[in-house]
Structure formats: structure tokens, C-alpha cells
Structure 1
């Protein structure tokens, strides 16, 4: 029996070599890929592409005709909530979208689509693809805080050689608390343990995990913090994590705690963080994500001596497109075989 054709459309910038790997998954797969309809990448894994890119009227019609003829999309159209809302409304054959982001729930929520509309298709995120670079960045943040690199940089800029040397802190033997022991959190824990740290953390479903000293849910977070020398947040932005790190949570930390955020900025009450930085409860904050992005120019976080600002770039690596296309090829095989796709975005909780 002739296999049923599955049409995949590439909706976001992607190198041709990765497209060919998608085509090779199965003879029944037809991949629609017209690179002239996609904005050029400004850097590796630039899924949005050059904002100056404009399609002609004819190209715009071709782009949407291509997407509307597919059952599967690689990427959310135009990589924005409006594109998602439009394709769901215009393509009745659409069954599955592979999103580029690990935290695609925010885009899905912002699309304004109701539960009924979202229930007609599957949206998978790229959770786990970014685990290693985010874990490495988290280790950087912890090391920066323990080794006083911000102070060293200031002294170097001022050509200051202090008469009294200040000791640094040992990472080995210290304790780390990770909020969100998913793929990113567990990879962070692996690297932390390699540095000699012990690790506890939170998980939505509380269960024993190898190498993790104590696991609780977010309601038990305050109980973990008095023992923490450093805290790493990997949680996504959902109604349940909104401003989880508030005044009370920062107050539960012991003085001098190092704080790293590679999850979502909405998980942190930034006013409460600034207060904790100013009163010494937090000695150093390494932040890759913020409640509003780009970080507004008038935010005190820019100039705070105990803060490192990273422009939501810590997950990026030259290997990202390859890793996401690897994930997509694996998922496509599962989809063709009628299996359950992993890393589905919850259409209710947007997680």
C-alpha cells in the first residue's frame, strides 16, 4: 500500500543541510522549503531573522499558501503569536507545529487562541535542546558570584590593586537550590555536582531524583533556601510561577546568596530582587531573562554593581539549529508512526 504523504513546511529560517535531513526521515515526507520567503539569519539559530526583511505581496501570498498546504510546520509562522493565530485559523489540515523555543508556552498564550482551537493540533517545544548551554551559563553565574568577578573587573578598569586582599568563596562543598528540575535543571545539577556542590530543588511532581539531596514543589521552596549558597531558576513563565521569587522568598535566603535566572523573567519580582541585592541577602545576580524584554533603559538592574545583565542569549549556540532539527526528525518519526509526541505545550497552563 502506498504510504500517505505527509507535507512539512519550513516556516522559519533554516539551513538547507538540515532541511535535507528532514526530507530523509521517510519517503512519505514532502518538505516545502523556499528560502527566499524566509528572512536571513543574523546569527546562528536566528529563528526570527533579519527584522528589515520584507516579502513582496506575491511572496507573502506564496508563504501563506505553502504553510496552509502542510500538516506539519517546522517553526511558528513569522515566529510570533500573530503568525500562530493566523495559521490555526487558516489551515484546517494542520496537525502539529514544532516550536523553536523551549518556553513556547508564552507565544501560544499570547496568540489568544482558545482551548478548543488549540485542542485541534499539537504544539511541541524545544525543551532540552538548550539544556547544556543554559546549564553552563548557570555555572558561570555561580562561579562569577563566588569568585567576585564583577569586583575584579571594576578594579581592573580603575587600575586598582587593593592593599587588603579579599578572599573568594569555594564552590566545592557549597549547596545549590534549583527551581525547576526538568531537563535544564537536571543538566545544571550535573555540572554543579561536578564542581563539588550538593543540590536540592523543586519539581511540579515531587519524586526522588538521583544525585538530588531533597526535592519539593514550589510551595516548599522557602524551606530549601536557608541552606542554599546559590539558587538557579529554570522555571518557565506561567500563571503559577508569576513572581514566585517575591520579597518573602528572597528574605528566606541566607545573606550572600548568589542568584541566577535562566528561566523566565516573570518568575522574579524585580523590585524584590533589587531590595535583596541592596540589603545583602543576594550578593550577586546573573540574569539572562527579565520581566520586560528588551530590558528598559531606565531599569536599575543595568547599573547595579551586583548584577550581570545578559540579553536573553545564554541558550544560543552555533549547534542550535542542528540540535533542534535533530529533535524535529526524531519527533517526525514518532508522528509518522502514530506515537505520542514528547514536550507538548499544555494548551491550558501554557507550560
Structure 2
């Protein structure tokens, strides 16, 4: 393959700081990285890939942006993180080979584009899955510890200036923690809970062993296993098969006081069933970073429930996220150029 052929014309279709653009070029010199920072919506904070919604391109700027995007062999990001814009450029650009979504759950964005099977087979879609594993695993650990140490009770007593009789807190190293979903996030959760001394179980579809996991549970046996654990961490992506997987049957099988942390996709948990489980004490504490519909409805009882911690889908956010995703992109670019399998490829049947 000639030097010209062995290059990728990559268009940056979302805001990405120049230092991270240069990092990609440094890590993989065979990439021709095309960007125009004046045409992407400016970030409002770290990893704000869709950018400021109040920034509007002029018709001329939009035409320039579309022309730039349509010239790509590869896209860094779905244009403006907009599925409709992805559908437009896929139809306009038959040379497009690969699109990296900046979201770990980018499969849902690809699905929302409504692409034809020909396009789904022609283009490889990847996500940033695994990049957010560390921060999300830390939130899961925080959530389980908060439940084990009675954070709501501590805060209430502090607010009321109450000094109660001493009471026993739960110890993580005496707990069994079930990680529902042992992908990149789940594996990081398992590793951290093992270090804390917990017995770690995890659900699996493949049956392949995972470091730090003492027992593998087939996903279709989840309801049979939850009654034997002290805490559950949900990390699964949102698909048709995982929708409300943690529903009335699974929640009803839990023992009283089970701690729940949710860091995958909110659609995995049936929130009506969760509220019932919170009210009857089967769930003793829930730390939730994701919800069925976001932003969470101001009328949702989850906001004011005394044993719920609401995090506005922000646990994964890190000032280093952009650098990590840039490095992941450069690594996958090298894999593509060297005919090696790419990491975090979207399953275009189930879209995860």
C-alpha cells in the first residue's frame, strides 16, 4: 500500500481542543486530521461534545461544515452529536468507513439515525466504552459505601443536631456485591470492590472469567441470585434486551436493605418498581447517576425520597475524558490502518 493510500482523512465533527487534535496526530502520524474550530459549537465545560446550543452557524458556515464532514474517510464524533446529521452525511458520503462516537453509549445515537442495513454494514461504528470505567466505578463504590454507612441517617442527624445512641454501620469487606454487566465499567467496578475486600459476583452472557469476580451468574438467572447479595451495581447498556431488566421480579427477589448503584443506562431499571422496593425496604439505599428519562422529571418522587441519592448523569465527567478519548481514537486509527480489529465496536443489531 502506498503512503498516500495508507492514510486516513479524519474530520473532527465535534468540538475538540487543539492540544488533543495534535495529540492524535502525534500518536498516529498516518492520520490527516481535518478540523476547523470556528465551525464546531464551543464547549461549555469538559467533554461537552455537543457544545453550546446557543451557538448557531450562519448558512454559509453550515455549508462549510457539511462540506468538511462529507469529505471524511473517518469521523471523530457524530456531527454535533446529532443522529439526523449522521444520517445526512452517511447518505452524502459513500467513502465514509468509520465513525467514532464520543459517548460510551453511542450505539443508541447510531440507532436513532435510522440508517439502512447497507450503511450499517459498510461503516464501522465505535464508542468510547471503557474510557469512563474508572470514574463510574468510583461512583459505584461511593454509592455502595454511602448506603453501607447510612449516609441519609448521618445527614439527617447532622441537620437536626441529633446525637443518637451509637449504631452499627455495615462493612464492605463483609458484603457480597453483584455487578450486573461485566463490560469495561463492570470490570473496573469488580476490581475496586475486590480491593475493598468484598465478595464480588457478576452477570455474564459469555461465561468468560473476569478478574476479581468470584462467581459468574448467567444473566437469565439474575432474579435467582439477587436474594443472596448485599449490594447490586448496574452497569448495563440500554438495549431492547436490557429494558427494565431490573424490574418488579428482580427487585421483588432482593432481601431487605439491599443497596443499589446505577451507572449504566437508566432504562435498565423500572423506576416505578424501584420506588415500590424503596418504600417497602427491599432497597435500603439507591445511588443513581442515570434515569429512564433525562433530565429527571421535577415531579419524580426519586428527587425527595429519603434513601435516594440523585446524580445528574455526571459521574463519568472528568477533565481528562477528552484526552482519554483522543488516545482511544489514535489507537483505533492505528488498528484500522494495520487491518487489526477495532476496540469498542457497536453491535448494529442490538446497538450497544
TM range (shorter): over 0.9
- Structure 2 CA distance, aligned partners of 1:127 and 1:347? 15
Q: Residue 49 of structure 1: CA displacement?
A: 1.1
CA distance in 1, matches of 2:323, 2:29: 21
Equivalent position of 2:329 in the other structure: 328
1:72 corresponds to which residue? 74
Which residue of structure 1 lines up, in the alignment, with residue 104 of structure 2?
102
Tell whether 2:14 aligns with 1:12. Answer: yes
Q: Hey, what does 2:116 align to over in structure 1?
A: 114
Checking the alignment, whether the CA contact within 8 Å between 1:115 and 1:348 is kept in structure 2 is: no
Q: In structure 2, what is the equivalent of residue 42 of structure 1?
A: 44
Runs of 5+ unmatched residues, structure 1: none
**Secondary structure of the equivalent of 2:174?**
coil
For residues 13 and 337 of structure 1, the distance between their equivalents in structure 2, rounded to whole angstroms, comes to: 27
Shift in Å, 1:170: 0.8
Q: C-alpha separation between the residues in 2 aligned to 1:296 and 1:168? A: 33
Mapping of residues 118-129 of structure 1, within 5 Å = 118-129=120-131
**Which residue of structure 1 aligns with residue 63 of structure 2?**
61
Residue 160 (structure 1) shift: 2.7
How far off is 1:53 after superposition? 1.0
Task: Return 5+ residue gaps in structure 2 as ranges.
Answer: none
Q: Is the 8 A contact 1:284 1:306 kept in 2?
A: yes
* TM-aligned CA deviation for residue 208 of structure 1: 2.9
Residues 1:239 and 2:267 are matched in the alignment: no
Given that residues 192 and 199 in structure 1 are in contact (C-alpha distance below 8 angstroms), is that contact kept between their aligned partners in structure 2? yes
TM-score for both structures, normalised by structure 1: 0.97
**1:231-260: per-residue Cα shift (whole Å, max 9, x none)?**
000000001101001111011111100000
Paired with 1:237 and 1:53, the residues of 2 have a C-alpha distance of 30
What pairs up with 1:55-204 in 2 under 5 angstroms? 55-162=57-164, 164-204=165-205
Q: Do 2:28 and 2:333's aligned partners in 1 also have CA atoms closer than 8 Å?
A: no
- How far the C-alpha of 1:165 sits from its partner, in A, is 2.9
Find the aligned partners of 1:26 and 1:286 in 2 and give their Cα distance.
40
Match of 2:267 in 1: 266
**Which is further off, 260-269 or 220-229?**
220-229
Q: Secondary structure of the equivalent of 1:37?
A: coil
Calculate the TM-score normalised by the size of structure 2: 0.97
Q: Distance in 2 between matches of 1:298 and 1:228?
A: 32
SS in 1 for 2:226: helix
Question: Could you say what the CA RMSD is over the residues aligned between the two structures, in angstroms?
Answer: 1.2
Contact 2:131 2:325 in 1 (8 A): yes
Distance 2:323 2:27 in 1: 15
Maintained 8 Å contact 2:187/2:210: no
Q: Tell me, in whole angstroms, the C-alpha distance in 2 between the residues paired with 1:315 and 1:27.
A: 30
Give distance in 2, aligned partners of 1:27 and 1:146.
49
Distance apart, 1:114 and its partner CA? 2.9
- How many pairs were matched up? 350
Hey, what does 1:280 align to over in structure 2? 281
Deviation at 1:27, TM superposition (A): 4.3
Structure 1 position 330, deviation (Å): 0.3
Question: Which string of whole-angstrom CA distances, capped at 9 and with x for unpartnered residues, describes residues 121-163 of structure 1?
Answer: 001001110000000000000000001112212222233333x
In 2: Cα distance, 1:116 partner to 1:2 partner: 29
Structure 1 residue 24: Cα displacement: 2.6
